[in-house]
């Protein structure tokens, strides 16, 4: 490859990164123009987080453990799961709402932008309603980590970080999967909001307290077990299926990343402009 071609390719990459940076800066600037919305959304999410924690505390005010799970072990499940979900939603919640662009005819404008449409959807808007509670959820995770006696082994911390990042990547992939389905299924957002409204709440607690069909659904269909009870079981050495499944998390991440990429790319290829 000639030096001219290499130089041109490098210049294009720098230009594209510059555009992405400009879009991100503009997105944050737009958010700061609506400070009331920022604080209202974050206060509401903080209230929801507080009610979930209160529920756990009320349960353990009556019992010492629930099916072998103590208070701080359940808090560890809650902290890991809610932190992963919050980070995933912070980054990519609006990606799953691409159906609005498709039906409204505004997706056409994304196709002619100098950056890929999926990248544009990621950086166009940050779901900042999860921002403040993300800090609180991470704090709960650390507090539970300490109270479960997991700090004696130093490498538990980088492993925890790895679980959080891998789990967040799975959640981002799920959002992209729903975005890809938007090219094929009308009003797929209804299923999406049911998914995050109902199934997310189930993943905040050890799945072993639910019936077998719910455990199977949240393990093999909607992969929420992989971002909640699987990492917690590995740290707590609970034994059984969920501890073993922790070793398969990289493969699960790869599977959903590939599925998301395929559904998105094939969806964009079959997209037909509304003409509006």
123 shares its domain with 2: no
What is the band of 5 on the pLDDT scale with cuts at 50, 70, 90?
A: very low
| pLDDT tens per residue across span 20-41 | 555 555 655 655 566 677 778 8
11 shares its domain with 128: no
Nearest to 242 by CA among 57, 89, 81: 81
Domain presence at residue 65: yes
Torsion of CA 274, 121, 47, 233, to 10 degrees: 120
Rounded (10°) angle between helices 131-147 and 156-181: 140
57 shares its domain with 189: yes
Q: Do residues 93 and 85 make contact, with C-beta atoms less than 8 angstroms apart?
A: no
17 shares its domain with 59: no
239 shares its domain with 162: yes
Residue 146 has pLDDT above 50, yes or no: yes
25 shares its domain with 98: no
Domain presence at residue 275: no
128 shares its domain with 213: yes
Task: Evaluate the CA torsion angle 69, 70, 71, 77 in order and state its sign.
Answer: negative
Residue count of the chain, please give it.
276
Domain presence at residue 276: no
| pLDDT tens per residue across span 80-137 | 999 999 999 888 877 877 888 888 788 888 888 778 888 888 877 667 777 788 899 9
Which token pair is 200?
């997310």
28 shares its domain with 91: no
Nearest to 246 by CA among 229, 221, 222: 229
pLDDT value at residue 22: 57
Please state the domain count of the chain.
2
Comparison of pLDDT for 219 and 7, the residue scoring more: 219
Domain presence at residue 215: yes
Nearest to 78 by CA among 161, 201, 221, 171: 201
Q: Do residues 207 and 218 make contact, with C-beta atoms less than 8 angstroms apart?
A: yes
| pLDDT tens per residue across span 165-211 | 999 999 999 999 999 998 888 777 777 777 777 788 889 999 999 98
Residue 65 has pLDDT above 80, yes or no: yes
102 shares its domain with 114: yes
Residue 218 has pLDDT above 80, yes or no: yes
Q: How far apart are CA 181 and CA 179, in angstroms?
A: 5
pLDDT value at residue 195: 75
Strands (E) in the chain, as ranges, are: 65-66, 69-70
Domain presence at residue 218: yes
Which domain, by its residues, includes 7? 1-33
1 shares its domain with 109: no
39 shares its domain with 157: yes
Mean pLDDT of the chain: 84
Residue 143 has pLDDT above 60, yes or no: yes
Domain presence at residue 178: yes
3 shares its domain with 67: no
Domain presence at residue 170: yes
What is the band of 250 on the pLDDT scale with cuts at 50, 70, 90?
A: very high
pLDDT value at residue 105: 80
């Amino acid at each position: 490859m000639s030096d001219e071609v290499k130089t041109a390719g490098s210049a294009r990459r720098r230009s594209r990164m510059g555009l992405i940076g400009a879009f991100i800066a503009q997105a944050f600037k737009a958010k700061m123009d609506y400070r009331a919305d920022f604080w209202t959304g974050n206060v509401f999410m903080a209230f929801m987080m507080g009610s979930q924690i209160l529920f756990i505390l009320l349960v353990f005010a009556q019992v010492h453990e629930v099916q072998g799970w103590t208070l701080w072990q359940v808090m560890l499940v809650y902290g890991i799961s809610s932190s992963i979900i919050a980070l995933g939603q912070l980054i990519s919640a609006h990606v799953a709402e691409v159906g609005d662009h498709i039906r409204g005819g505004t997706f056409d404008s994304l196709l002619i932008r100098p950056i890929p449409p999926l990248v544009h959807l990621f950086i166009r808007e940050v779901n900042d309603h999860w921002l403040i509670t993300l800090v609180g959820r991470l704090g709960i995770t650390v507090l539970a980590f300490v109270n479960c006696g997991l700090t004696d082994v130093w490498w538990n911390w980088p492993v925890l970080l790895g679980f959080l990042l891998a789990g967040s990547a799975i959640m981002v992939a799920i959002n992209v999967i729903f975005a890809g389905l938007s090219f094929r299924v009308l009003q797929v957002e209804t299923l999406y909001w049911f998914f995050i409204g109902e199934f997310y709440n189930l993943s905040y607690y050890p799945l072993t307290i639910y019936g077998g069909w719910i455990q199977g659904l949240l393990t093999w269909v909607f992969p929420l077990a992989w971002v909640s009870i699987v990492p917690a079981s590995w740290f707590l050495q609970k034994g059984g299926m969920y501890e073993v499944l922790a070793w398969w998390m990289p493969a699960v991440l790869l599977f959903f990343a590939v599925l998301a990429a395929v559904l998105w790319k094939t969806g964009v290829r079959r997209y037909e402009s509304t003409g509006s």
